[in-house]
Amino acid sequence: MSASPVLAVDIGGTKLAAALVDPRGCVTAAGRVPTPNRPGVDGEELWRALEALLGDLVAGAGDPPLAGVGVGCGGPMTWPAAEVSPLNIPAWRGFPLRERLRARHPGLPVRIHNDAICVAVAEHWLGAGRGHGNVLGMVVSTGVGGGLILGGHLVNGASGNAGHIGHIVVEPDGPPCGCGGRGCLEAIARGPGLVAWAREQGWRPGARGATGVELAADARRGDPVAGAALRRAGRAIGIAIASATHLCDLEIAAIGGGLSQAGPLLFDPLEEAFRTHARMEFARRTRIVPAALGQQAGLVGAAALVHAQDRYWSAG
C-alpha cells in the first residue's frame, strides 16, 4: 500500500466535495464548492468547476504525490468505464468522467463507483461494519441507495449496481417510482416522497420549508402526520432489509443519509418491521445500526477504492 494520499471526490447535485485521504482513512485536507446545477449549465462548465476544486485542494496541500483518484458519483453510469449520467445533474449525460480524470492524472489509478456504494465501502472499512464480513450499507436521503459487502469484499454485480436496495419492492400496489416501477422502497422512503405523502395527508410545513429535515423536526414535536410519515418510511426500510438479509445472510445493516438523523422516530418502526418479517433464525441475528462516518463517508469510501483495492475494486 502506498503511503501517499488518495485524491477523493464526492459528486452530488448540490455540492462537489474533494479531500486528500491517507492510507488510514484520515482526511488530511478537504474542500467543497456548490455544484453548478442551474438550468442551462453545460457539462464543460461543471467539469471546470470540479477541475478548479481539485487544483486548489492539491496546491493548497503542497502538491503531494498521489496514490490515485477515487470518486463517488450518483448514477446511472457505465461501470467501470464511468461515463456518468447522474439523475440529479442534467448537465452530465454520458459524460466521460473517468477518461477526463485519467487525462488530468496520467499514470494514476482512477476508480469511480456509485456514491451510495462508496458510503457502504466506508462503513465496512472504518465505520459501523468494521470487523464484519457481510454488511449492507444504505443511504436514505433524496434517494435510497446501497452497497453490499459479502465475504469481506464489495459485490459489484454484472453492471456495478449490486446492492441497489432502493428498488426492492416493498408495497406492490404502492406509489409509482422514478425507475418506472411501483412500490419500490425509494418511492416510499426517500425524503421528497415522504414530504409529498405527508402534505397529501394534511401536513403543513413551517417557515423552513417542506423538507425531510423539517418533517422529522415536526415529528419530534408530536405532529401526528409527520410521525406517521416517519413510521411509514421505517416500516418500508425494515421490510426491504428483511428481504436483503434472507437473500444475503447479513451481519450488519448500516443506515446513513439525511433521513437517518431522525433517530428512534425512524429506527423504532424500522426495527419492528424487520423483526416481523425476518423470521428465519439466521436473519434474526442481523443488527441494524446508524452509519458511523457521517458526511465524510462518501469521500472515505472513494479513497478506499484505491487504498484498499484488494477488497473494494475488482475492475480494470
21: domain CATH number is: 3.30.420.40
What amino acid occupies position 55?
Answer: G
Same domain for 275 and 219, yes or no, is yes
Mean pLDDT within 69-85: 94
Residue 125 lies in a domain: no
Identify the residue whose cell numbers are 438523523.
261
Mean pLDDT of 79-102: 94
Phi, psi values for residue 153, rounded to 5°: -130, 145
| Least confident residue range of 34-38, 136-140, 181-185 | 34-38
- CA–CA distances in Å: residue 195 to residues 79, 189, 218, 253, 308: 33, 10, 12, 25, 38
Average pLDDT over residues 148-172: 95
% of the chain at pLDDT higher than 90: 86
Say if residue 266 is in the same domain as residue 155.
yes
Sorting pLDDT into bands at 50, 70 and 90, what band is 1?
Answer: low
- The pLDDT score that the predictor gives to residue 152 is 97
Decide: helix, strand or coil at residue 51: helix
Query: Are residues 46 and 174 located together in one domain of the fold?
Result: no
Question: What mean pLDDT is predicted for residues 54-58?
Answer: 97
Residue 72 and residue 189 in one domain? no
Does residue 199 lie within any of the structural domains? yes
**What whole-number distance in Å separates Cα of residue 195 and Cα of residue 200?**
9
Q: Which three cell numbers stand for residue 251?
A: 451481519
Whether 1 is covered by a domain: the verdict is no
Tell whether 146 and 51 lie within a shared domain: no
Residue 123 lies in a domain: no
Residues 30, 89: Cα–Cα separation, whole Å: 22
Q: Count the domains in the chain.
A: 2
Whether 126 is in a domain gets the answer no
Euclidean distance between CA atoms 199 and 194, whole angstroms: 9
Co-location of 45 and 186 in the same domain: no
Predicted TM-score (pTM) of this structure = 0.92
Confidence of residue 207 (pLDDT cuts 50, 70, 90): low
Whether residues 101 and 238 fall in one domain? no
Q: Hey, what amino acid is at 156?
A: N
* Closest alpha carbon to 136 in 168, 107, 109, 97: 168
- Sequence-distant (6+) residues with CB within 8 A of 115 are 10, 11, 12, 72, 73, 74, 75, 139, 145, 298
Whether residue 258 sits in one domain with residue 135 = yes
Mean pLDDT computed over 216-232? 95
Measure the CA–CA gap between 185 and 271, rounded to whole angstroms.
Answer: 16
In a domain, 271, yes or no: yes
Find the angle CA(157)-CA(178)-CA(286) to the nearest 5 degrees. Answer: 50
- Mean pLDDT score of the chain: 94
Residue type, 244: A
For the chain, what is the total number of helices (H) and then of strands (E)? 10, 12
Same domain, 137 and 256: yes
Give domain status of residue 158, yes or no: yes
Q: Same structural domain for residues 138 and 285?
A: yes
Q: What is the pLDDT of residues 267-288, one digit of tens each?
A: 999 999 999 999 999 999 999 9
Residues 27 and 111 in one domain: yes
Domain that holds residue 234: 131-292
**DSSP 8-state secondary structure symbol assigned to residue 283:** G
**Cell numbers of 95, please?**
459524460
For residues 28 and 154, state if they share a domain: no
Specify the pLDDT at position 40.
85
Cell numbers representing residue 136 in the block? 449492507
Kindly state whether residue 147 falls inside one of the protein's structural domains.
yes
